[in-house]
Chains A and B, each alone.
Chain A
Amino acid sequence: MGLLEIRNICKSYKSFKLDHVSFNIEKGRIVGFIGRNGAGKTTTLKGIYNLIHLDEGEILYEGKSIFDNELKFKSEIGLLFGEAEYYPNSTIKSLTSVTKTFYPNWEEDTYQKYLKLFNLDEKKKIKELSSGMKVKYGLSIALSHGAKVLILDEPTSGVDPVSRDELLDIFMDLVSDGEHSILFSTHVISDLEKCADDIVYIQNGRILSATTVTNFEKGYAHVSSTKEGIDKSLFGKCIYYKDRLGKFEGVIKKEDEKLFSDEIFEKRKATLEEIMVALERGE
C-alpha cells in the first residue's frame, strides 16, 4: 500500500481527457512526474489536491479516501505551484503569520530552522524573492506544518542551474528520513536523473509508465553508428531515430537490441531525456 494512491482518475475537457490515471507514491521516495506541456501533469496534480472535480477515480492517503478526510489530507500535504506568487506585496513574515494559524501541527522552531537554512529574510516581500527562493519559502511552510507528502508542480522551472541543484539536494535530504515523499512534475529531465527514485510518465492524459527510474531506463537502449551500409529495415525497429550527414542514432526497445549488431552499432543505456524525446517524437 502506497502512502498516496491515485486510482483511475478521469477528467474530461472539450479538448483534453485525463484517462484512468493511476500510480502510487511510497514513503521515502521522490517521484518524478514527466510529460510534455499539456500532457496532463498539472491537471493530475490539481485532481489529487481536489482543486478540480474529477469525473471518476479515487485518491487514497494512508489507505483512506481524501474526499472523506480532505482537511486532514490538506494539512498533511504540501502543494507548491512553481510560479505561484501569493500576495506578492506581503512580506514573508506577514504571510506566514496568517498561513500558520490554519495548521494545528505548526512547528515554529522547524520554520525558523528552514528560514535560516534557506537564507530567507522574513522582511522581504514575496515579489522580491527569486524563483528558487519562492520554492524554498513554500518548502519551509510545507515542512513546518508537518507535510509528509510534497506535491510540487514544476518547482525547478525558471530556477538557475546552481539553485536547481541546491533544491534537488534539499529534496534528497528530505526523503532520506524515510517519512517524507515528494511528487514533482517537471520537463527538466536532468533533474529526474539526479534525484528521482520513481518515474510516472504521462502522455496525452494517459499514464505510459509508472515504475522505478532504473526499470524505466532498462526498457530502452541508445544505438548509434557512423558506418556505411546500415540495414535500413532496422530503422523501423527504432522508436525514434535520426539519420543525418552520415551519422545514425536512435532509441530502441531493449528487447530489440540484439537486432543491432555490435560490429556496426555502438550501444549504450539511453538517458531519460533521449527516451522521452523518442517516445514523444516517435509517434
Chain B
Amino acid sequence: MKKQIMKKELKLCLYGQSLVFAIIGGLCVLIPNWPIAVAFIYVLSGISVIFPRALANRDIEYSLILPIKKSDVVFGKLFVGVFIELLAMAIGAVCALLKFYVFKFLPGEGEDVYNSVIAPNFSVFGLALVAFSIHNLILYPWYYKDPLKKLTAPQLVSLFGAMFLLGAAQGGSCFVNLIQDPTLKLIIDLSVFAAGIVISILLTWITYILSAKNFEKVSI
C-alpha cells in the first residue's frame, strides 16, 4: 500500500510550486561565493505550500475515505516533503560537482570557487539534511495535531527554526573547510556527512511516529 500512497502524493499533492522551489534551491549552489546552505531555505518554502493546498483540495478527507491506515496518510505526506528535500539536495550535489570540475576552468572563477571557506563540501549537505529533518520534526507532528486548521504557526516556527539551523550548518561547513590537512579534512568532512545522514534518518523516523500518534487522536 505504501507504493500506492507514494504514487498518490506525487500525482496529486506534489505541486509545481514546490518543485520550482526545490530546483531553485538546488541551482543556487552554482552561485559563486555564496553560502549554499542558505539556498536550501527556498526548498522549505516549497514544503510549506503543500499543507494549505492539501486543505483546499480536502486531501485529508479524501485520504481517510481510502482503505488505508491513518499512519499511511502521514507516511505519504512525509514522503512528499522528504522527496522535495532530497530532490533539492540531489540538484545541489550536481551543481556542487559542476562548481568544482567545470567552473574552475572559467576565467576569474577558479580561485574563488576552490579556495573559499564557503565552498560546498560533504559536511554542508550532511548538516543541511539534519536541518531539514529538524524542520520536519517541528512541522509534521504539529500539523497532525489538527490537520484541518490553517497552518501558520507550525509553518513559521519550523521555517525560522530551520533558517537558524541552516545558518549554523553553513558555519559548520566553513569550519571543516578551514582544516589544513587534506586527509584529516576529508575524514572529518565525510564523517559529518555520514553522521548527518544517520541523524536525519533517525529524526525522520521520530517525526513519522509522533505525527502518526497525533493524527490517530484526531476526529474529522
Contact = CB atoms under 8 A, between A and B. Distances in A.
Interface string A21-51: 0000000000000000000000000100101
Contacts of B61: 81, 84, 86
A103 B67 contact: yes
Contact of A88 (B57, B68, B69, B219): B57
Contacts of B12: 87, 90, 94-95, 98
A27 to B, nearest CB: 21
Contacts of B150: none
Nearest to B216: A53
Given A87-B62, A101-B7, A71 B67 contact: yes
Given A75-B67, A86-B58, A52 B7 contact: no
A97 interface: yes
Which of B1, B59, B61, B66 counts the most A-chain CB atoms under 10 A from its CB? B66
A99 interface: yes
Given A88-B57, A101-B4, A53 B11 contact: no
A103 B4 CA distance: 10
A51 B64 contact: yes
Interface in B156-186: none
Contact of A102 (B4, B57, B59): B4
Interface residues of A, number: 27
B106 interface: no
A97 B220 CA distance: 25
B64 A102 contact: no
B64 to A, nearest CB: 6
Contacts of B217: 53
B68 A52 contact: no
A192 interface: no
B66 A99 contact: yes
A51 B219 contact: yes
Contacts of B213: none
Interface string A78-93: 0101001111111000
A103 B67 CA distance: 8
B8 interface: yes
Contacts of A7: none
Given A79-B65, A102-B66, 12 more contacts: A51-B64, A51-B220, A52-B219, A71-B69, A74-B65, A74-B66, A87-B59, A87-B62, A98-B12, A101-B7, A101-B8, A102-B8
Interface of B: 1, 4, 7-8, 11-12, 57-59, 61-62, 64-69, 217, 219-220
Interface of A: 46, 49, 51-53, 70-72, 74-75, 79, 81, 84-90, 94-95, 97-99, 101-103
